Amino acid sequence: MYFYDGNQCDPKKCSGRRLAKFDLARQVKRIAHIPANTLVLMPTTKKVISRDDLERAKKSGIAVLDLSWKATGDNFPKSIKMSRQRALPFLLAANPVNYGKPFILSTAEAYVAALVILGYREQAEELMNKFKWGPTFFSLNKEPLEDYENAKNSEEIIAAQSLYI
Protein backbone atom coordinates (compact mmCIF):
# COMPACT_ATOMS: atom_id res chain seq x y z
CA MET A 1 0.00 0.00 0.00
CA TYR A 2 1.19 3.46 -0.88
CA PHE A 3 -0.01 6.80 0.33
CA TYR A 4 0.68 10.35 -0.66
CA ASP A 5 0.67 12.75 2.28
CA GLY A 6 -0.49 16.19 1.18
CA ASN A 7 0.46 17.64 4.60
CA GLN A 8 -3.07 19.01 4.98
CA CYS A 9 -4.05 17.36 8.25
CA ASP A 10 -2.82 17.22 11.82
CA PRO A 11 0.30 15.00 11.77
CA LYS A 12 -0.65 13.58 15.18
CA LYS A 13 -3.97 12.32 13.76
CA CYS A 14 -2.69 11.19 10.35
CA SER A 15 -3.69 7.55 9.89
CA GLY A 16 -1.42 7.15 6.85
CA ARG A 17 1.60 8.17 8.89
CA ARG A 18 0.58 5.77 11.63
CA LEU A 19 0.41 2.92 9.11
CA ALA A 20 3.86 3.91 7.81
CA LYS A 21 5.20 3.94 11.38
CA PHE A 22 4.25 0.25 11.65
CA ASP A 23 5.64 -0.51 8.15
CA LEU A 24 2.11 -1.19 6.89
CA ALA A 25 2.23 1.50 4.20
CA ARG A 26 4.86 3.25 2.12
CA GLN A 27 4.73 7.02 1.89
CA VAL A 28 5.53 8.68 -1.43
CA LYS A 29 6.68 12.30 -1.47
CA ARG A 30 5.00 13.17 -4.76
CA ILE A 31 1.95 11.78 -6.53
CA ALA A 32 4.15 11.09 -9.55
CA HIS A 33 6.09 8.61 -7.39
CA ILE A 34 3.12 6.27 -7.02
CA PRO A 35 4.22 3.23 -9.06
CA ALA A 36 2.69 2.76 -12.50
CA ASN A 37 -0.47 0.62 -12.67
CA THR A 38 -1.13 1.04 -8.95
CA LEU A 39 -4.83 1.53 -8.26
CA VAL A 40 -5.45 4.93 -6.70
CA LEU A 41 -8.47 5.40 -4.45
CA MET A 42 -10.14 8.64 -5.52
CA PRO A 43 -13.53 9.78 -4.22
CA THR A 44 -14.20 11.80 -7.35
CA THR A 45 -14.12 8.98 -9.88
CA LYS A 46 -17.07 6.89 -11.06
CA LYS A 47 -15.55 3.38 -11.18
CA VAL A 48 -15.82 1.57 -7.85
CA ILE A 49 -13.18 -0.86 -6.60
CA SER A 50 -14.30 -4.49 -6.75
CA ARG A 51 -13.08 -8.07 -7.05
CA ASP A 52 -12.54 -7.24 -10.73
CA ASP A 53 -9.46 -5.33 -9.52
CA LEU A 54 -7.98 -8.13 -7.43
CA GLU A 55 -5.22 -9.25 -9.81
CA ARG A 56 -4.13 -5.69 -10.53
CA ALA A 57 -4.08 -4.84 -6.82
CA LYS A 58 -2.02 -7.96 -6.08
CA LYS A 59 0.45 -7.12 -8.82
CA SER A 60 0.74 -3.34 -8.50
CA GLY A 61 -0.80 -2.38 -5.16
CA ILE A 62 -3.22 0.27 -3.96
CA ALA A 63 -2.53 3.93 -3.20
CA VAL A 64 -4.47 6.41 -1.10
CA LEU A 65 -4.19 10.17 -1.37
CA ASP A 66 -4.04 11.60 2.14
CA LEU A 67 -5.62 14.98 1.48
CA SER A 68 -7.92 17.00 3.70
CA TRP A 69 -11.51 17.18 2.51
CA LYS A 70 -11.71 20.71 3.88
CA ALA A 71 -8.67 21.88 1.93
CA THR A 72 -9.19 19.81 -1.22
CA GLY A 73 -12.96 19.51 -1.60
CA ASP A 74 -13.62 17.89 -4.97
CA ASN A 75 -10.35 19.20 -6.44
CA PHE A 76 -8.38 15.98 -6.32
CA PRO A 77 -5.31 15.70 -8.58
CA LYS A 78 -6.14 15.22 -12.23
CA SER A 79 -2.76 13.76 -13.22
CA ILE A 80 -3.77 10.18 -12.39
CA LYS A 81 -5.06 8.24 -15.38
CA MET A 82 -8.76 7.35 -15.19
CA SER A 83 -7.89 3.67 -15.76
CA ARG A 84 -6.08 3.67 -12.39
CA GLN A 85 -8.74 5.53 -10.39
CA ARG A 86 -11.19 3.69 -8.15
CA ALA A 87 -13.82 4.96 -5.75
CA LEU A 88 -15.09 3.34 -2.60
CA PRO A 89 -18.79 2.66 -2.11
CA PHE A 90 -20.84 4.23 0.68
CA LEU A 91 -19.27 3.80 4.12
CA LEU A 92 -19.33 5.84 7.31
CA ALA A 93 -16.18 7.22 8.91
CA ALA A 94 -15.35 5.94 12.39
CA ASN A 95 -12.31 8.14 12.97
CA PRO A 96 -12.73 10.85 15.63
CA VAL A 97 -12.33 13.73 13.16
CA ASN A 98 -15.15 12.71 10.80
CA TYR A 99 -17.13 10.19 12.86
CA GLY A 100 -20.40 9.20 11.22
CA LYS A 101 -19.84 11.20 8.04
CA PRO A 102 -20.49 9.26 4.83
CA PHE A 103 -17.65 8.87 2.33
CA ILE A 104 -15.17 11.05 4.31
CA LEU A 105 -12.82 8.27 5.37
CA SER A 106 -9.33 8.49 6.77
CA THR A 107 -6.45 7.01 4.79
CA ALA A 108 -6.50 3.90 6.98
CA GLU A 109 -10.27 3.49 6.64
CA ALA A 110 -10.07 3.82 2.85
CA TYR A 111 -7.29 1.28 2.58
CA VAL A 112 -9.04 -1.14 4.94
CA ALA A 113 -12.31 -0.83 3.01
CA ALA A 114 -10.47 -1.69 -0.21
CA LEU A 115 -8.86 -4.71 1.46
CA VAL A 116 -12.24 -6.01 2.65
CA ILE A 117 -13.78 -5.54 -0.80
CA LEU A 118 -10.86 -7.41 -2.39
CA GLY A 119 -11.27 -10.31 0.07
CA TYR A 120 -8.59 -9.53 2.65
CA ARG A 121 -10.74 -8.98 5.74
CA GLU A 122 -8.27 -10.55 8.17
CA GLN A 123 -5.48 -8.25 7.01
CA ALA A 124 -7.89 -5.30 7.16
CA GLU A 125 -8.88 -6.08 10.75
CA GLU A 126 -5.23 -6.39 11.71
CA LEU A 127 -4.54 -2.91 10.28
CA MET A 128 -7.48 -1.31 12.05
CA ASN A 129 -6.38 -2.74 15.36
CA LYS A 130 -3.59 -0.13 15.26
CA PHE A 131 -6.24 2.52 16.00
CA LYS A 132 -8.38 2.84 19.15
CA TRP A 133 -11.37 3.59 16.92
CA GLY A 134 -10.51 0.87 14.39
CA PRO A 135 -12.97 -1.80 15.56
CA THR A 136 -15.71 0.85 15.47
CA PHE A 137 -15.19 1.14 11.70
CA PHE A 138 -16.22 -2.49 11.31
CA SER A 139 -19.20 -2.29 13.66
CA LEU A 140 -20.44 0.98 12.14
CA ASN A 141 -20.23 -0.47 8.61
CA LYS A 142 -21.02 -4.12 9.38
CA GLU A 143 -23.77 -4.74 6.81
CA PRO A 144 -22.36 -2.67 3.92
CA LEU A 145 -18.89 -4.20 4.32
CA GLU A 146 -20.38 -7.71 4.30
CA ASP A 147 -22.38 -6.91 1.17
CA TYR A 148 -19.39 -5.36 -0.61
CA GLU A 149 -17.16 -8.24 0.42
CA ASN A 150 -19.60 -10.73 -1.10
CA ALA A 151 -20.03 -8.78 -4.34
CA LYS A 152 -18.39 -10.40 -7.35
CA ASN A 153 -17.94 -7.24 -9.43
CA SER A 154 -18.48 -3.48 -9.51
CA GLU A 155 -22.10 -3.82 -10.66
CA GLU A 156 -22.94 -5.87 -7.57
CA ILE A 157 -21.19 -3.34 -5.34
CA ILE A 158 -23.21 -0.49 -6.85
CA ALA A 159 -26.39 -2.54 -6.35
CA ALA A 160 -25.44 -3.20 -2.71
CA GLN A 161 -24.58 0.45 -2.17
CA SER A 162 -28.08 1.45 -3.28
CA LEU A 163 -29.41 -0.30 -0.15
CA TYR A 164 -27.61 2.25 2.04
CA ILE A 165 -27.96 5.53 0.18
Q: What is the pLDDT of residues 18-67, one digit of tens each?
A: 777 778 788 888 888 899 899 999 887 889 999 999 999 999 999 998 77
Assess contact for 131 and 40: CB atoms under 8 A: no
For 164, how many CA atoms within 13 A lie in the half-sphere containing its CB? 20
Neighbour count for residue 45 (Cβ, 10 Å): 16
User: Please, is 144 exposed, middle or buried when counting C-beta atoms within 10 Å of its C-beta (0-12, 13-18, 19+)?
Assistant: buried
Distance CA 123, CA 136 (A): 16
Assess contact for 89 and 158: CB atoms under 8 A: yes
Q: What is the pLDDT of residues 58-87, one digit of tens each?
A: 999 999 987 755 444 555 556 678 889 999
pLDDT band at 135 (very low <50, low <70, confident <90, very high): very high
Q: Look at residue 44 in the predicted model and tell me its pLDDT.
A: 79
Task: Give the mean pLDDT of the chain.
Answer: 87
Q: What is the pTM of this model?
A: 0.87
Q: Look at residue 71 in the predicted model and tell me its pLDDT.
A: 43
Structural domain boundaries of the chain? Answer: 2-161
